[in-house]
Amino acid sequence: MPFSVTILGSSGALPAYGRFPSAQYVNIQNRHFLIDCGEGTQMQLMRYQIPYQKISHIFISHLHGDHYLGLMGLLFTMHLLHRENDLHLYAPKGLDEIITLQLKHSNSTLRFNIVFHDADTLNQKLIFEDDALTIETIPLIHKIKCCGFLFREKQKPHRIDKGKLPSEILLQHIVILKSGKDIHDDKGNLLYKNENYTILPHHSYSYAYCSDTAYTEQITEQIRGVDLLYHEATFMEQEKDKATETKHSTARQAAAQAKKAGVEKLIIGHFSARYKELQPLLEEAQSIFPKTMLVIEGETIDLDV
């Protein structure tokens, strides 16, 4: 089952050198999510042939324009294409007022319902859960209320070793084996020991999205060991004072966070418009954490491959 992240926007506050503001599409076991929605996001969704009408949950990290100004255009496009399914929006408090005001003054009513959820920017909080995964907020440090999002797959079912299954086993017993349990009869006698008939589950993946933030070790334990970490890297280390002033991070700091948290892979983005060439940022990060990649628009990082 897929677990993938497609980059739609990699730029910082300003679009620059063909780079769009922040936006990412996440597909986990055919559940479709959008993280941030900077200007031009719907154009990127169309360009890369992403089924945006299937997106049911949109997560906005904070209310600086480069992270949500593409949202109204996307909502109106969904409306014009006769969307009917509910759309859930997760963001720091205030997004509901912004959208409601624009609908009011354009005398518009959407064909579908928007369900607003306040995202907790001060605490780690579970904001989504179904049978396959959980999503929780990651408190970040920025000029306004801001949070990242942590996506974690739940443990997957055990895999049945079909070559070892007895022919007389019942279907309900197979279901129990997939859950990782042994099977007993009504008297408590062991009928089938799980480890004799199953293979361990496939790996459950995790993805941490850390949007605009000053470097902070407060998030280290929460993101420890994730398979993929996105961490903003607006500046290079020589602009560290600027990063501190604006509550952003350098490429070196992003890499230091990845190393300290023991993550598997790091991707960096939210690049300042002062950088036309991004290779120096990559090299700065890789000097600390070699398994670093730049986010490149249109590229998809597949974890379940």
How many C-beta neighbours within 10 Å does residue 157 have?
A: 13
How many angstroms separate the CA atoms of 236 and 233, rounded?
Answer: 7
Assigned token pair, 288: 């600390």
How many angstroms separate the CA atoms of 9 and 296, rounded?
Answer: 8
Q: Which amino acid is at 25?
A: Y
Instruction: Specify whether 66 is catalytic.
Output: yes
**Which among 72, 40, 50 is positioned nearest to 6, based on CA atoms?**
50
Q: Which amino acid is at 122?
A: L
Instruction: Note whether 2 and 30 are within 8 A (CB).
Output: yes
CA angle 152, 153, 159 (to 5 degrees): 155
> To 10 degrees, what angle do helices 95-105 and 71-80 make?
50
- Secondary structure (3-state) at 242: helix
Instruction: Note whether 178 and 158 are within 8 A (CB).
Output: yes
Q: Which of 66, 120, 212, 227 is labelled catalytic?
A: 66
Where are the alpha helices (H) located in 121-239, listed in sequence order? 171-178, 194-197
- Which of the residues are catalytic? 66
